[in-house]
Structure 1
Amino acid sequence: MTRAPSYDLNAEQAVIGAVLIAPPVMAELTALLGPADFYRPAHGVIWEALCVIHADGLPADPIALAAYLAETGDLAKIGGAPYLHTLMQSVPTAANAGHYARIVADHARRRQVVNLGEHLTQMANGGADVADVVAAGRAMLDQADSGTWSPLIQLGDRRHLPEFPAYVLPSWVADMVYGVAEFTQTPVDLAGCVALAALSTAAGGRAEIEVRGSWREPSNLFTVVALPPGSRKSAVFGAMTGPLLVAEKALVERTRPAIVEAELAARVAGKAAEKAAIAAANADASGRDTLLAEATAAAMNADAVAVPVLPQLIADDVTSEEAASLLAEQGGRLAVLSPEGGIFATIAGRYSGTPNLEVFLKGHAGDMLRVNRRSRDPEHVEHPALTLGLAVQPDVLRDIAGMPGFRGKGLLARILFSLPENTVGRRKIGADPVPEQIATAYAANLGALVMTLADWTDPAVLLLTPEANERVLEIERAVEPRLGPGGAWAHIVDWGSKYTGAVVRVAGLIHLAEHLRDGWGKPIQAETIERAALLGEYFAAHALAAFDDMGADQTTRHARHVLGWIERTVTSAFTKRELFRAVKNAQMSTVADLDPALAVLEMHGYIRQLDAPARTRSGGRPPSPSYLVHPDVHRPVATVHALADADTRRSA
């Protein structure tokens, strides 16, 4: 039989209403109730908001609560301001707030017991050792009423990162991003970041955005997505960058006649110069000076004939020296796009033994690059625009933090990081392919953007409307306090200092993608800056997580790995043996290897070890230690976002 869960909505309404009538009682009730103790999700969201307001030192009154919920976008979800008045009217007296809270807590404990019972059933049906099931059951039931949990101490910023907001991109790009993500069953973030890299490849080096005065931003980006092996990164890269290879082929075919003509002209001029030189050498003294002048002019004419090189938009695993030469040959434009991260090891000196970051630093900033070649005179690339679009394994992301110069010289500060949640194990089998009209439109439009800007030698300058410039100023004002000592971005000030410029670059790409053939002649609107700012917020959240992850030690990484399993399985309790079977890997190859990670999670309040039950039999192996999971680990995402917003306001 299926029984209804234990709850009392009247008590839940009464305890919240009592706080709204008498805000000072909140100090007493926070020790009795957590958001997860409420059965109705809306009540949990309201209680979380009250906890945040109380933690900020503000009175938890209806006005403050309504303003907070409106700011987080949750006011309509909980029933609007009228529902807050309904809650207040449901309270017989605020003096009984503690009594109402205990009723709510009692029902929450009862639901917890039911959940533990279901977990034990799953353990038994899943083939777990009977002794483990019995031992875990006794310990869990003994401590099911052990009281409320302490607030979580966040284990970095990796949890509940925002999803890539592909809807801000032009429709022909967004449709392709969503279509590829659905077909490959990969995170939207992967296709979205590769789409930005594709737009950067098409426009990089051919357009720049003038913000104000001498401040100009080129239109190229560095994007890096971190996903484990088996995540279908290559399939996504193939779908999103394939049209660039088609456009590159079209450019090659268009250039071939000019190459043939120039090569022929070079041979003719060379023969003429050789003939003139022979004539000058064989002339007598009286006519030698004239013939020597003619031979010199012929040689200079031959040297002046420039043979175009075959256009190349994309390179893969190139050395820094090769990248510099290609930039010089390709008029300052080149993209390194790859579903692997081998390029990092290459520029760190895998072949030369010496790191060479200059071409990547200057290629992002657009600073003049000098290319020295043995066979020719040195070349200057006035406006290099290097695009970087990679999908790497998480271990690669952690390794690059320790590579010489990557942080100190500013390479990491130039990267837009994305750390999406892995979908492996939750993928839909037989997903629909990308609709043909969407794939066709994407290929045609991306190719049109390449061909439209291909002939620009000096970059097109995109201007901002006055309203767009004011929106950029607002972003600068919001970012500056975060960079100061004690600010939210103080530990990534190198990355944060380039944040506004990155938003402007993204806005330029969105603008060009919406005006494929005449974007260079139109100013960028404020609405485009606003959309780019949403992407900026996404990348800021992921950058905080990426730098936090790169700076974490191995124990913290293992703790996050365990926490990821807890979140994916939505488990409320587990045994150590059960956990080991699920998360065993090369770094955690024995049960004992779990101990440091479990200790970190206990210190942060994510789990609680249960007391071992008394032994009821002699012999046999001892029961595996059991753990309870903090209820807030599985709380609604909206609640997590509300708390994160409050933390951001406090740090600012």
Structure 2
Amino acid sequence: MKPAGYDLAAEQAVIGAALLAPALMGNLAGLLSSGDFGRPAHRVLWAAMCGMHAAGTPTDTITVAAHLADTGELGKVGGAPYLHTLIADVPTTANAAHYANIVADLGKRRQVADLGAQLARLATSGADTADVVATGRAMLEGASSLGEWPALVPLGRGRHLPPFPAEVLPGWLADQVLAVAEFTQTPIDLAGSLALACLSTAAGGRAEVEVRGSWREPTNLYTVVVLPPGSRKSAVFAAMVGPILSAEKAMIERTAPAIIEAELSAKVATKAAEKAALAAASADAAGRDTLIAEATAAAMNAEAITVPAKPRLVADDITSETAASLLAEQGGRLAVLSPEGGIFATIAGRYSGTPNLEVFLKGHAGDLMRVDRRSREAEHVDKPALTMGLAVQPEILRDIAGMPGFRGLGLLARILFALPENTVGRRKIGADPIPTQVAAAYHGGLHALVLSLAEWTDPTVIVLAPDANERVLEIERLVEPRLAPGGAWSHIVDWGSKYAGAVVRIAGLLHLAERPGIGWSGNIHANTIDRAALIGEYYAAHALAAFDDMGADIATRNGRLVLAWIERTATSAFTKREAFRAVQCAQIKTVADLDPALAVLEAHGYLRQLDPPAPKRAGGRPPSPSYLVHPEVHRPAATVHPLNARKAS
């Protein structure tokens, strides 16, 4: 059944006509705004086409698809195939204006219906009477001035960041991610990013992807999810990381006999060497040389016995020095998995007073690392593979931007950031628990992957098939213009330059997870690269937001708090007093603290302050200033339709 409030066929016909006959855009852009469309994907598409038309850019299918790919919105509208579907379904371009009038009429009807519902909610909200009257007046005035709003100027980060595309993960992994997110009522991004970190923990240092020539990518990742306190991060970590800890325990049990045997051999050899040394020391001159030679041989034999370290996969809040020692001890691999971000302060020199980023830089790149020890000779880790899977609070994200060397030396460029929408306050009570069979499949899959690669000393090399290599070349061609001066990623060149490599790493992990235990055999094909690229596009959108947040001033940050409240509550008009009550926090302690944030939102077109109401004649609290909200603020986030991706079985 057609969703109430909009005509899907008419929307598809008018967009298809504009794509098929770009000359129609001049007329159609005057008849329709993006807010007139009911389907979120169509709103995104029409806004892009209107912007291109205003800039003098053709709106044919190929040009529109390229533009959306550059802005990271192609997946939001259904991809290039959907654009061709729109063209194929156009009955005739001659009726484009008629289709546009249908869409515009339904859009206005939805606006009127929304206004009525909002006025009804306002009247029964229990708010201060003066605020109710002022807000109602603002809403009615806003309704009478539809179409007079200027285009929004983005407030740094995009308002609607895409959710983690769990559907591209192998089935056993996707099911766990979705089930954990549902049970804990947390954003899917947290479980999704942790799923990748867990795969990285299993495969890091044990598998590499050969792209072409000498270009090889290791399979370890750094993921950081940004969420406020009270977001149930620990519960998600427990559900996702549990099988890793179980596998670590199994590895300890499996290697225990060999460790005990080596310890006993070392003890016996040491005793024998000590006994031989004593004999040589007490021997007379005639037999001393022979006994010294025997003592020397015994000492060398004792020294040659190496006691294997107890297997360890995961660490928490450790120092850089400890991380380096553990990497050397554990054959070059280690994971830092934590629901807190204290590791960043440690790296920055919280204890030592001196930042030490080397192990975290080389641990991501796989560069040769020298580990100096106090009681033993220095060791070299040929290809260190460090994994990070962290959840941090927003304040930490802003703090790390100012930590010495984090940006300049390239640590931030190595991180895949996720900034999901906060679900606190809107969580479902009594959500369904994780199904037993889902948890068992996840435990078995991850357990098998860890143990199958645990004893590899040299990493297995997974090769890209020719079709996969072509996909990587396409990604490189797509990214390069974005890195140019003035390009979409010109301000995050450091991060963007590592994008193709990150996609390859993710593809390697997906390939291994397809067949836990034997996934290292066989080549990576184009389908896997396509799925990894969808995850890459997700992280690219969030990276832009993360770097914007790290560089934002306090007024912009507070403006985003107000904007988040507006979007969450679907507010069309409000008073300053209402806004302050809603967003009052440590950053906004007084109404005066709110003024710069409201000014930023006004300057960017999100708000419009109404003329102040006439003051009361005598007594009573003066009316609070009222604001209208730009109608486009409430544009729903478009659904992501993955292309060339399938949910693995």
Q: Is TM more than 0.5 here?
A: yes
Q: Which residue of 2 aligns with 1:566?
A: 566
Paired position in structure 2 for 1:132: 131
Aligned-residue CA RMSD (Å): 3.4
- Amino acid paired to 1:36: G
Where structure 2 has 5 or more consecutive residues not aligned to the other structure, the ranges are: 642-649
In structure 1, give the amino acid aligned to 2:54. Answer: A
Give the C-alpha shift of residue 158 in structure 1.
3.3
Deviation per residue, 1:567-601 (Å, 9 max, x gap): 11111111111111111001101111111111111
Partner of 1:635: 635
The reply to whether residue 599 of structure 1 matches residue 599 of structure 2 is yes
Contact 1:143 1:610 in 2 (8 A): no
Q: 1:116 to 1:254 in 2, by over 3 A?
A: same
Distance in 2, matches of 1:138 and 1:378, equals: 75
Partner of residue 499, structure 2:
499
Q: Is 1:292 the counterpart of 2:280 in the alignment?
A: no
1:245 aligned partner, one-letter code: L
Corresponding residue for 2:175?
Answer: 175
Partner of 2:371: 371
**What secondary structure sits across from 1:318 in the alignment?**
coil
Letter of the 1:530 counterpart: D
Match of 1:385 in 2: 385
Give the distance between the partners of 1:490 and 1:54, measured in 2 at CA: 24
1:645 is aligned to none
CA contact (8 A) 1:18 1:91 kept: no
What is the CA-CA distance between 1:108 and the residue it aligns to? 6.6
Q: Secondary structure at the match of 2:144?
A: coil
Counterpart Cα distance in 1 of 2:240 and 2:11: 50
Residues 516 and 43 (structure 1 numbering): CA distance in 2 closer, same or farther, change over 3 Å? closer
What's the CA shift string for 1:219-257, capped at 9, x where partnerless?
A: 110000001111111111100110111111111111111
1:342-491 aligned at under 5 Å gives the runs 342-491=342-491
- Once residues 11 and 107 of structure 2 are traced to their aligned partners in structure 1, the CA distance between those partners, rounded to angstroms, is 11
Q: Distance in 2 between matches of 1:7 and 1:444?
A: 46
Bigger CA drift: 433-442 or 62-71?
62-71
289-298 or 39-48, which moves further after superposition? 39-48
Moved more, 335-344 or 163-172: 163-172
After superposition, the Cα gap between the structure-2 partners of 1:367 and 1:133, relative to the gap in structure 1 and judged at 3 Å, is same
Among 75, 83, 95, the alignment partner of 1:89 is 95
Tell me: CA distance 1:573–1:112, structure 2 relative to 1, closer, same or farther (3 Å): farther
1:622 to 1:260, Cα distance in 2 relative to 1, 3 A = same
Q: 1:35 to 1:216 in 2, by over 3 A?
A: closer
- On the 8 A contact 2:14/2:96 being kept in 1, the answer is no
Identity across the alignment (%):
70
- Provide the rounded CA distance (Å) in 1 between the counterparts of 2:8 and 2:385: 61
Structure possessing the higher radius of gyration over alpha carbons: 1
Q: Retained in 2: the 8 A contact 1:185–1:423?
A: yes
1:136 maps to a residue whose letter is T
| Cα distance change, pair 597–530 in 1 and its aligned pair in 2 (3 A) | same
1:119: which partner in 2?
118
Shift of 1:134: 2.3
Partner of residue 540, structure 1: 540
Amino acid in the other structure paired with 1:73: G
Contact 1:14 1:88 in 2 (8 A): no
2:215 corresponds to which residue?
215
Residues 138 and 627, structure 2, Cα contact 8 Å, conserved in 1: no
Q: Determine the structure 1 residue equivalent to 2:35.
A: 36
Distance (whole Å) between structure 1 residues aligned to residue 635 and residue 293 of structure 2:
86
Residue by residue over 1:323-357, the C-alpha shift from the partner in whole angstroms, topping out at 9 and shown as x without a partner, is: 01111111111000000001001111111111100
Distance (Å, rounded) in 1 between the aligned partners of 2:19 and 2:302: 88
Is 2:334 the counterpart of 1:334? yes
CA distance in 1, matches of 2:487, 2:66: 25
TM-score normalized with structure 2 length: 0.89
Separation of aligned partners in 1, 2:433 and 2:298:
61
User: Is 34-43 or 392-401 further displaced after alignment?
Assistant: 34-43
Cα distance in 1 for partners of 2:40, 2:314 equals 50
Moved more, 452-461 or 83-92: 83-92
**Structure 1 residues 480 and 24 mapped into 2: Cα distance closer, same or farther (>3 Å)?**
closer
**Secondary structure in 2 aligned to 1:240?**
helix
**AA partner of residue 241 (structure 2):** T
| Structure 1 residue 438, shift from structure 2 partner | 1.1
The CA deviation string for residues 277-318 of structure 1, in whole angstroms up to 9 with x for no partner, is 111111111221111111111111111111111111100000
1:14-25 to structure 2, matched below 5 A, reads none
How many aligned positions are there? Answer: 630
CA distance in 1, matches of 2:239, 2:410: 31
Which residue pairs with 1:646 in the alignment?
A: none
Which residue does the alignment assign to 1:73? 78
SS at 2:391 equivalent: strand
Q: In the TM superposition, what is the alpha-carbon distance from 1:58 to its structure 2 partner? A: 4.5
Instruction: Give the alignment of 1:187-206 within 5 angstroms.
Output: 187-206=187-206
Cα separation, partners in 2 of 1:373 and 1:472, compared to 1, 3 Å: same
Q: Which runs of 5+ in 1 are unaligned?
A: 643-652
**Alpha-carbon distance, 1:109 to partner:** 6.9
